[in-house]
């Protein structure tokens, strides 16, 4: 870690976002609050007059299919990746997220509603320096079909290359995107990219009693001819959303990362596995410097 990569940042005022959880269908109100330096991103679950704090750190992650979730004791927060992507993409380091239901609002399936709220709140620079870590050797997790890796930095900051491949005959074609991640780039190029799902996957979930409140206007549902009753915002919106998800998952590292990250058909599970490898490398670096 350097002595001062950049100054830490928090929001300047309280803002809220209302919606419902895609999986549970439950209404939820999320309130973003300023937080002091070095406190990080913390989810605060409010229920029955109590407030339970869950830090947005990798050690609190629990494996739940198709989304990122955190748990501390018996308290859990679900589908947090779009909120984390908004905070990480905008370089907001210290923030409390108060929520009155376990699952975060799905909104339109993107990070844009959270970005809009955070932009309205404003940003305050703080005196403390932000920690960062530079990738020094290539780390890779996954297999030949699905993988994600971190490579040493070719430039200052974080660059991400993302690829998806749903086969030659499906409605989602091969897509690839490379982007240097800055607050401006995240806001303009990634934040509005929406969650997507195949029509047959959506039908199966409904048959299991999941996502029954969600319609084709709440996210992208791909039929044989493309998205159903919902035009694309970008020709390559699907790969942009995969990159958005990766940014959210990397936020669980708790510091700025400098390196070149490549994700090929990755998932929240693989993203989290890579974060674990990165944190282990950081710990080894710290031990080597103090030895």
- How many beta carbons lie within 10 A of that of residue 103, not counting itself? 22
- Which tokens sit at 99? 């929520």
Q: Is residue 268 annotated as a catalytic residue, yes or no?
A: yes
Helices assigned H by DSSP within 19-111? 81-89
Residue that the structure tokens 């419902």 belong to: 20
Phi, psi of 176 (to 5 degrees): -145, 145
Q: Which residues pair with 10 in a beta bridge?
A: 94, 124
Angle subtended by helix axes 237-250 and 268-290, to nearest 10: 40
283 by DSSP, 3-state: which? Answer: helix
Burial class (CB in 10 A: 0-12, 13-18, 19+), 233: middle
Residue tagged active-site, from 132, 241, 264, 268: 268
Cα gap 80→190, rounded to integer Å:
16
Q: Give the residue numbers annotated as catalytic, written as ranges.
A: 268
């Amino acid at each position: 870690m350097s002595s001062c990569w950049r100054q830490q940042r928090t929001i300047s005022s309280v803002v809220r976002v209302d919606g419902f959880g895609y999986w549970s269908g439950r209404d939820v109100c999320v309130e973003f609050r300023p937080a002091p330096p070095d406190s990080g991103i913390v989810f605060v679950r409010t229920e029955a007059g109590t407030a339970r704090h869950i830090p947005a750190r990798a050690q609190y992650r629990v494996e739940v299919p198709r989304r990122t979730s955190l748990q501390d004791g018996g308290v859990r927060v679900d589908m947090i990746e779009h909120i984390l992507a908004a905070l990480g993409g905008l370089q907001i380091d210290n923030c409390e997220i108060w929520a009155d239901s376990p699952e975060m609002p799905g909104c339109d399936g993107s990070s844009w509603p959270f970005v809009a709220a955070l932009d309205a709140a404003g940003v305050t620079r703080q005196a403390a320096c932000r920690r960062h870590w530079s990738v020094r050797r290539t780390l890779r997790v996954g297999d030949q079909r699905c993988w994600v890796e971190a490579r040493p930095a070719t430039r200052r900051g974080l660059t991400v290359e993302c690829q998806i491949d749903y086969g030659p005959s499906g409605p989602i074609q091969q897509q690839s995107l490379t982007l240097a991640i800055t607050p401006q780039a995240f806001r303009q190029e990634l934040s509005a990219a929406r969650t997507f799902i195949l029509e047959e996957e959506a039908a199966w979930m409904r048959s299991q009693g999941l996502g029954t409140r969600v319609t084709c206007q709440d996210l992208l549902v791909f039929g044989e001819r493309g998205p159903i009753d919902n035009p694309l915002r970008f020709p390559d919106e699907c790969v942009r959303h995969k990159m958005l998800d990766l940014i959210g998952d990397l936020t669980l590292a708790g510091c700025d990362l400098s390196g070149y990250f490549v994700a090929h058909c990755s998932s929240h599970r693989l993203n989290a596995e890579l974060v674990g490898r990165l944190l282990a490398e950081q710990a080894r670096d710290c031990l080597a410097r103090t030895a």
